[in-house]
Amino acid sequence: MTRTPPPATQARPAPARRAKFRQFRTLTTRWADNDVYGHMNNVVHYGLFDSAVNGWLIEQGLLDLKASPEIGLVVETSCRYHGELAFPDLVTAGIGISRLGRSSVRYEIALFRGDSDTAAAEGFFVHVYVDRQTRKPVAIGPKMRSKFEEMLL
Amino acid sequence: MTRTPPPATQARPAPARRAKFRQFRTLTTRWADNDVYGHMNNVVHYGLFDSAVNGWLIEQGLLDLKASPEIGLVVETSCRYHGELAFPDLVTAGIGISRLGRSSVRYEIALFRGDSDTAAAEGFFVHVYVDRQTRKPVAIGPKMRSKFEEMLL
Amino acid sequence: MTRTPPPATQARPAPARRAKFRQFRTLTTRWADNDVYGHMNNVVHYGLFDSAVNGWLIEQGLLDLKASPEIGLVVETSCRYHGELAFPDLVTAGIGISRLGRSSVRYEIALFRGDSDTAAAEGFFVHVYVDRQTRKPVAIGPKMRSKFEEMLL
Amino acid sequence: MTRTPPPATQARPAPARRAKFRQFRTLTTRWADNDVYGHMNNVVHYGLFDSAVNGWLIEQGLLDLKASPEIGLVVETSCRYHGELAFPDLVTAGIGISRLGRSSVRYEIALFRGDSDTAAAEGFFVHVYVDRQTRKPVAIGPKMRSKFEEMLL
C-alpha cells in the first residue's frame, strides 16, 4: 500500500469499525471547527487525534506535562477522510497501537460521529520518545511499554 | 515507499529543499501555535498547508468561497516533521502538484523556517472536486487544469 | 463599573457561581488548548463561549446554519479570568441572558472546571441579529424572543 | 462608558484609526479563520491580539518563553467588532498601552484590514506580571517599565 492516494473513483480501503480499537474517548466539537462549507475543517481532526492520545496517556499516568524527563515528539501524522463531521456532533475517538519500536510508537485513531459504527475519518500518529533536554531518542521504559502492549491491534 | 514510518534510528528521506517547489507563500505564526513544549503543535502545520494552497487558489481566481459551483473536498492529508518551528518564526510554504487526476489533485507542501533551505516539515494534501450540492466528483475544468499543470513537480 | 480593569491587588467582583445561570453545557478540552505555560490559552475561552451559546441555539431550533434568513453577528465579547483551566479538564459552561433588545441579545457565560462551583472565567457575548444578505439589523422574532426570555438572569 | 453594549441602532464610539497606536505588526490570516458565514470567527481576533503583543515583547527582549522568572498572566480581554475580516486578508495590528500599574499593563489593540485606516476590530488585553512559580504579582522591573512607557497612548 503506497502513500499515493487513489483517484476518488477507485476503490479505497473501507472505513474502520469500532471493533478494531482498544480504547475510546468522547470529544465535543466546537463552533469554530466548522469551515465555510459548514463541516469540520480537515485540520481539526488532528487536534482530536492529539487530544485522544494524550488524554489516554495522562489518564494512564504515562504523561506528566511538567515533570516527564522524556517527551513524545510527533514525527509523522496522516488522515483519510471518509465522511463529514460538523459542530455540534459528539465524536468518539477509537485508539490503538499498530507498531511499537524501541523508542517509537504508532497510534491508529478513528473518529466516529455520534453512534455511528463506521469511521468518518481515520489516521495515524507517530511519537518518538526523546530526552526533554537533549532531544535524542530514548528507549521506551518498561511501565510505558507494558501499557502500550495492551493497546496493540 | 510505504506509509509505515521507519523507526527514528533508521534512515528517512532527506527533508525537501526550496528548489523542489513551484510557488511560495509567507505565513506568520501565532502565539497559540506553540504547545506546552514551546514549539509549534503538530496540528498547526496542516492549518498552514490549507492556507498556502487555498490562498494560491483564491489568488489565481480558481476558488470563490461563495460562488464556486464545485468545491475541493479534502480526502487525505499527511505530514512528516523534520525540525521545530515556533512562534514568532516567519514560515514560507512551498507548494506544487505531484498528481493530477480527472477530479483530484495532490499538492505537495513544505514549510521552511525563516531563511532555511531545508524543510522543517513536509506533507501532502488531496482535493477531490465535487459538485457543491450533490457532493459527487466532477471533472476538473480546463482553466483550472491548465493552472494545475503549471504547478506539476 | 467601568471597563478599566482594577490593578490586581485591588478587589475584583467575586467569581460567579453556578446558581446564577439558566443552562449548562459540558465541553471537553483539547491538547492544543494548553499554551507554553501549561494552561489553557486565553483565546480558547472564547471558543468555548461560542460553542456553548451556539450549541444551545441549535438544540432549541433557533439556529439553522444553512437556512436561517437571519444570522447573529457578534459585535462585542469580553472575558475575565479568575483561575486556571487546562487540558484534560472537563469544563461546564453556564449560560444566561442579561439583556434583550429589539435585535440584540447579551449572553453571560461562565466556565467551571470539573465540579467546581466557582467560575474559572466569565464573560459576555453580544449578538445582533441581521438579515443574512443585507446585514441590516432585524427584530428578533417571537419564537426566539420567547426562548430568550426564559434565559433572562 | 459602561460595559453594557448599546443596541446596534444606537451610537457606538467610532472605530479607532491607525494614528492612535505606537507599534504595528503585520499578520497573515488562515483558511480555518473563516467560519460558516465566510468571515473571520470572533475568536480569532484574540489570537491576533495575543500574537501582536507577545511578538512585540519577544522582539524587545522582554519575554523569553523558557527563561523569564516572571510571566504575564492574562486577567481580562475584550473586543468590539466593527467590520468584517476574512481569509485571505492581510491584517495589521496596532498596539499601545493605556494603563501601566505596579504589576499590570493594559494594551489597546486594533486590527486593520489591508490598507484601511479604520479598525475592523479593537479591544484590550490586561497582563498581570506574576512570579512563574508562586503566581503572586510582582512589580514590573525598570527595563520593562521603560519600554512600556514608550508605548503609552
Q: Which residues of A touch C54 (CB under 8 A)?
A: 31, 87-88
C-alpha cell, B132: 457543491
- Per-residue model confidence (pLDDT) at position B13: 85
DSSP 8-state symbol, B88: T
Nearest C-alpha neighbor of D36 from the set C147, B26, C17, A35? A35
The contacts of residue A93 (CB under 8 Å, 6+ apart) are: A24, A25, A26, A27, A48, A49, A51, A52, A109, A110, A111, A112
Average pLDDT over residues A14-29: 97
Q: Is C36 within the bounds of a domain?
A: yes
- What pLDDT digit, counting tens, does each position of D32-56 carry? 999 988 899 999 999 999 999 999 9
**Cα separation, D114 vs D18, whole angstroms:** 12
Is residue D5's pLDDT more than 70?
Answer: no
ipTM of the complex: 0.90
- What pLDDT digit, counting tens, does each position of C6-64 carry? 444 456 789 999 999 999 999 999 999 999 888 999 999 999 999 999 999 999 999 88
Interface test with B, best of D36, D43, D49, D51 (most B CBs within 10 A): D51
**Cα separation, B13 vs B11, whole angstroms:** 7
C19 Cα to chain A: minimum distance (Å) = 24
Q: Which residues of A touch B73 (CB under 8 A)?
A: 81
C55 has a chain D CB within 8 A of its CB: no
For residues B126 and B110, the answer to whether their CB atoms sit within 8 Å is: no
Q: Is A60 within the bounds of a domain?
A: yes
A136 has a chain B CB within 8 A of its CB: no
**Cα separation, D118 vs D96, whole angstroms:** 16
Task: Name all chains with 3 or more CB-CB pairs below 8 Å to chain B.
Answer: A, C, D
Q: Which of D34, D43, D44 sits opposite A36 (nearest CB)?
A: D34
Average pLDDT over residues A68-74: 89
Buried b (16+ CB within 10 A) or exposed e, A7-42: bbeeeeeebbeeeebebebebbbbbbbbbbbebbbb
Q: Would you place residue B6 in the very low, low, confident or very high pLDDT band (cuts 50, 70, 90)?
A: very low
Q: Would you place residue A22 in the very low, low, confident or very high pLDDT band (cuts 50, 70, 90)?
A: very high
How many domains does chain A divide into?
Answer: 1
The secondary structure of C96-125, three-state, reads EEEEECCCEEEEEEEEEECCCCECCEEEEE
SS3 content of chain B, % helix, strand, coil (to 5): 20, 35, 40
Amino acid at A126: V
H or E element at residue B59: helix B44-59
A17 Cα to chain B: minimum distance (Å) = 18
Q: Is C12 within the bounds of a domain?
A: no
Neighbours of D17 (CB within 10 A): 14
Mean pLDDT for chain A overall: 91
- What pLDDT digit, counting tens, does each position of C30-44 carry? 999 999 888 999 999
Please tell me the pTM assigned to this model: 0.92
**Cα separation, B28 vs D95, whole angstroms:** 17
Is residue A34's pLDDT more than 70?
Answer: yes
Select the highest-mean-pLDDT range: A75-84, C59-68, D6-15: A75-84
Cα distance between the two ends of chain B: 18
Neighbours of C83 (CB within 10 A): 14
C-alpha cell, B147: 493552472
DSSP 8-state symbol, C17: B
Q: Is C61 left (phi over 0), alpha (psi -120 to 50) or beta?
A: left
CB pair distance less than 8 Å for B51 and D87: yes
For residues C47 and D43, the answer to whether their CB atoms sit within 8 Å is: yes
SS3 D47: helix
> Which has more confidence, D4 or B64?
B64
- What pLDDT digit, counting tens, does each position of D91-137 carry? 999 999 999 999 999 999 999 999 999 999 999 999 999 998 888 99
Mean pLDDT for chain C overall: 91
Q: How far is CA D16 from the centre of its chain?
A: 13
Interface test with A, best of B1, B2, B39, B46 (most A CBs within 10 A): B46
Q: Is B38 left (phi over 0), alpha (psi -120 to 50) or beta?
A: left
C34 has a chain B CB within 8 A of its CB: yes
Q: Which domain holds residue A37?
A: 19-150
Task: Name all chains with 3 or more CB-CB pairs below 8 Å to chain D.
Answer: A, B, C
The CATH code of the domain that includes D47 is: 3.10.129.10
Q: Is D7 within the bounds of a domain?
A: no
- Per-residue model confidence (pLDDT) at position C2: 32
Q: Is D105 within the bounds of a domain?
A: yes
Q: Would you place residue D80 in the very low, low, confident or very high pLDDT band (cuts 50, 70, 90)?
A: very high
Is residue B113's pLDDT more than 60?
Answer: yes
What is the DSSP secondary-structure string of chain A? Answer: -BSSPPPTTS--PPPPBGGG-SEEEEEE--GGGB-TTSSB-TTHHHHHHHHHHHHHHHHTT---TTT-SEEEEEEEEEEEE-S---TT-EEEEEEEEEEE-SSEEEEEEEEEETT-SB-SEEEEEEEEEEETTT--B-PPPHHHHHHHHHTB-
Q: Is C4 within the bounds of a domain?
A: no
Mean pLDDT for chain B overall: 91
Is residue B125's pLDDT more than 60?
Answer: yes
- Per-residue model confidence (pLDDT) at position D2: 32
Average pLDDT over residues A35-43: 92
- Per-residue model confidence (pLDDT) at position C10: 53
* Residues, chain D: 153
- Per-residue model confidence (pLDDT) at position B39: 93
pLDDT above 90: percentage of residues in chain D: 81
Q: Would you place residue D4 in the very low, low, confident or very high pLDDT band (cuts 50, 70, 90)?
A: very low
Average pLDDT over residues C116-122: 98
Average pLDDT over residues B24-38: 95
The contacts of residue B21 (CB under 8 Å, 6+ apart) are: B94, B95, B96, B108, B110, B153
Task: Name all chains with 3 or more CB-CB pairs below 8 Å to chain C.
Answer: A, B, D
- What pLDDT digit, counting tens, does each position of A45-59 carry? 999 999 999 999 999
**Cα separation, B91 vs B132, whole angstroms:** 32
Nearest C-alpha neighbor of A42 from the set B96, B50, D38? B50
Give every strand in the sheet of A121-131, ordered side by side.
A23-28, A90-100, A104-113, A121-131, A70-81, B70-81, B121-131, B104-113, B90-100, B23-28
Q: Which residues of A touch D36 (CB under 8 A)?
A: 34-38
SS3 B31: helix
CB pair distance less than 8 Å for C104 and D8: yes
- Per-residue model confidence (pLDDT) at position A8: 47
C133 has a chain B CB within 8 A of its CB: no
Q: Which of B27, B32, B65 sits opposite D50 (nearest CB)?
A: B32
- The count of CB pairs under 8 A between chains A and D is 25
C128 has a chain A CB within 8 A of its CB: no
DSSP 8-state symbol, C32: G
Residue C86's beta-bridge partner residues? none
C-alpha cell, C48: 468555548
Q: Is B5 within the bounds of a domain?
A: no
**Cα separation, C29 vs A51, whole angstroms:** 8
Q: Which of A31, A35, A43 sits opposite D34 (nearest CB)?
A: A35
> Which has more confidence, C63 or B41?
B41
Is residue B7's pLDDT more than 70?
Answer: no
SS3 C95: strand
Cα angle C127, D118, C104 (rounded to 5 degrees) comes to: 15
Q: Would you place residue D17 in the very low, low, confident or very high pLDDT band (cuts 50, 70, 90)?
A: very high
Is residue C5's pLDDT more than 50?
Answer: no
D19 Cα to chain C: minimum distance (Å) = 22
Interface test with D, best of B23, B26, B27, B28 (most D CBs within 10 A): B28
Q: Is C94 within the bounds of a domain?
A: yes
